[in-house]
Chains A and B, each alone.
Chain A
Amino acid sequence: MSEDRVKPTEAQLKARRSRSIAIAVALAVFVILVYLGTLTKLGPAVFDRAM
C-alpha cells in the first residue's frame, strides 16, 4: 500500500510551508487585532460582568 502514497515534490513542500507561515501570521494578527479592539471598545468594562 505504501507505493500508493503521494510523495510531495520539493516545490510542493516549499509552497505548503509558505502557506502555513502565512496562515500562522494572519491568525496571529487577527487575534491581536480582536484583543486590542475589544479592550479599546469596552475598556475596563471588559472585566465588568454581572454574576
Chain B
Amino acid sequence: MALVEREHLHDDAGRLSEATAGDFVALLKPRVMSLVVFTAFVGMVLAPAGPNPVLALISILAIAVGAGASGALNMWYDADIDAVMARTAGRPVPSGRVAPGEALGFGLVLSALSVMTLGLMANWLAASLLAFTIFFYAVVYTMWLKRSTPQNIVIGGAAGALPPVIGWAALTGTVSMESLVLFLIIFLWTPPHFWALALFKSGDYARAGIPMMPNVAGAASTRRQIFAYAILVAVSGVLPTFAGFASLAYGVAAAVLGLAFACHAWRVLAARGEDPAMRAEKALFGYSLVYLFAIFAALLCDGLLARLGG
C-alpha cells in the first residue's frame, strides 16, 4: 500500500496542504482585527502619554496579532459548529482548506509571539492584559460560555472590549478609569449587536445548538433586552464627556448617535418579529457597526485635537 493511502486511512496529518497564505490570514478574522486595531489605537491616542511612534506601531501590531491569534484558536475549536452554520461554513477549517492542528498551532504560536513582543516593546501590564484577552476569548468564551449559556456574548464581550484598555496600558503602564469607560462602551454594545444578528440568524444558531438568547429566552424577551442594553449603550457613549476626558462637542455627537441606537432598538421591539424580512433587526445590526465606529472615530478626533491644542 502506498504511503499516502495508508496515512489517509488514519488521519489527514500527512496530506499535502492546499491552504494558501490567504486562508491563514482568514483564520485571523481580519474584520474583527481591524476593529481591535482601531479601538486600541483610540485608547493610545487618548492616553496621557507622549508615545514613541515606533513602539506605538509595534504595540498596535502586537495587539492586532494577539487578537488574530485568538480568532484562529476560536476557529480551531468551533470548526464543528461553524460547519453547520451558513455564515461560517466557508471558513478555512470547516471547509477543509486548513487542518485543525494547523489552525491550533498557528493560533498558539502567534499568541505567544504577540504577548512576548508587547511585553518587551511596551510593558508587561499591557502584555498580561493581551494574554488575558486571548485566554478569555479562546477558553472562557469559545470553549465554555458559547455552548453553555445564553449570556455567552454578554460575558464574552469583555474580550472584545479590552483592546482600548490594552492600548492605554501599553502607553501609560496603568489601567485607569478613562480606559475602563472605553471598555464599558464596547462591553455594553456587544449584546444588542449580536442579539440583533441572532434574531435574524436564529435558525443557524439552533442548527448548531448554540444557546443564543432568542433560542433560549425567546425572541420577545431578546427584543426587550436589546432595548434595555441600547439605553445603556446610549448612556455609556456620553460618559467620556462627563468623566472629563472628552469635549462637549463629542458628548453632543455621542448623544445623537446613542439616541439613534435607541430608536433602532425601539423599532426592533415594536416590530415584534411580524416582518418576515426582519428589516428592523438587520437595520439595528448594521447601525450598531456604524455606531461603534462613529463613537471611536469621534473620540479619536477629540483626542487628536486635544493633543494638537495642548
Report B-chain residues with C-beta under 8 Å of the C-beta of A22: 21, 24
Q: Give the shortest distance, in Å, between B121 (CB) and chain A (any CB).
A: 5
Q: Give the shortest distance, in Å, between A21 (CB) and chain B (any CB).
A: 7
Main secondary structure of the interface of B (DSSP, over half): helix
Set B22, B54, B55, B120: member contacting A18, Cβ < 8 A: B22
Report B-chain residues with C-beta under 8 Å of the C-beta of A36: 54, 58
Residue B3 at the chain A interface, CB threshold 8 Å:
yes
Q: Give the shortest distance, in Å, between B171 (CB) and chain A (any CB).
A: 14
As a 0/1 sequence over residues 18 to 61 of chain B, the CB contacts with chain A under 8 angstroms (1 = contact) are: 11111010000000000000000000000000001011001001
Q: B2 to A40, Cβ gap below 8 A?
A: no
Q: Which B residues are within 8 Å of any A CB, using their own CB?
A: 2-4, 16-22, 24, 52, 54-55, 58, 61, 113, 117, 120-121
In Å, the complex CA distance between A22 and B23 comes to: 11
Report the tally of A-B residue pairs with Cβ distances under 8 A. Answer: 50
Q: Give the shortest distance, in Å, between A4 (CB) and chain B (any CB).
A: 5
The B-contacting residues of A in range 16-43, CB under 8 angstroms, are 16, 18-19, 21-22, 30, 33-34, 36-37, 40-41
In Å, the complex CA distance between A16 and B18 comes to: 7
Q: Give the shortest distance, in Å, between A14 (CB) and chain B (any CB).
A: 8
Q: B58 to A37, Cβ gap below 8 A?
A: yes
Set B17, B21, B52: member contacting A40, Cβ < 8 A: B52
Given contacts A15-B19, A41-B55, 14 further A-B contacts (CB under 8 A): A4-B4, A5-B3, A6-B4, A15-B17, A16-B16, A18-B21, A19-B24, A30-B113, A36-B54, A37-B117, A37-B120, A37-B121, A40-B54, A40-B55
Q: Give the shortest distance, in Å, between B13 (CB) and chain A (any CB).
A: 13
Q: B18 to A15, Cβ gap below 8 A?
A: yes
In Å, the complex CA distance between A40 and B51 comes to: 12
Report A-chain residues with C-beta under 8 Å of the C-beta of B2: 3-4
In Å, the complex CA distance between A21 and B61 comes to: 20
Q: B20 to A15, Cβ gap below 8 A?
A: yes
Residue A8 at the chain B interface, CB threshold 8 Å:
yes
Report A-chain residues with C-beta under 8 Å of the C-beta of B24: 19, 22
Report B-chain residues with C-beta under 8 Å of the C-beta of A12: 16-18
Q: Which chain A residue lies CB-closest to B25?
A: A22
In Å, the complex CA distance between A8 and B16 comes to: 7
In Å, the complex CA distance between A36 and B4 comes to: 45
10 A-B pairs closest in CB distance: A22-B21, A18-B20, A40-B54, A37-B121, A12-B16, A18-B21, A15-B18, A6-B4, A4-B3, A15-B20
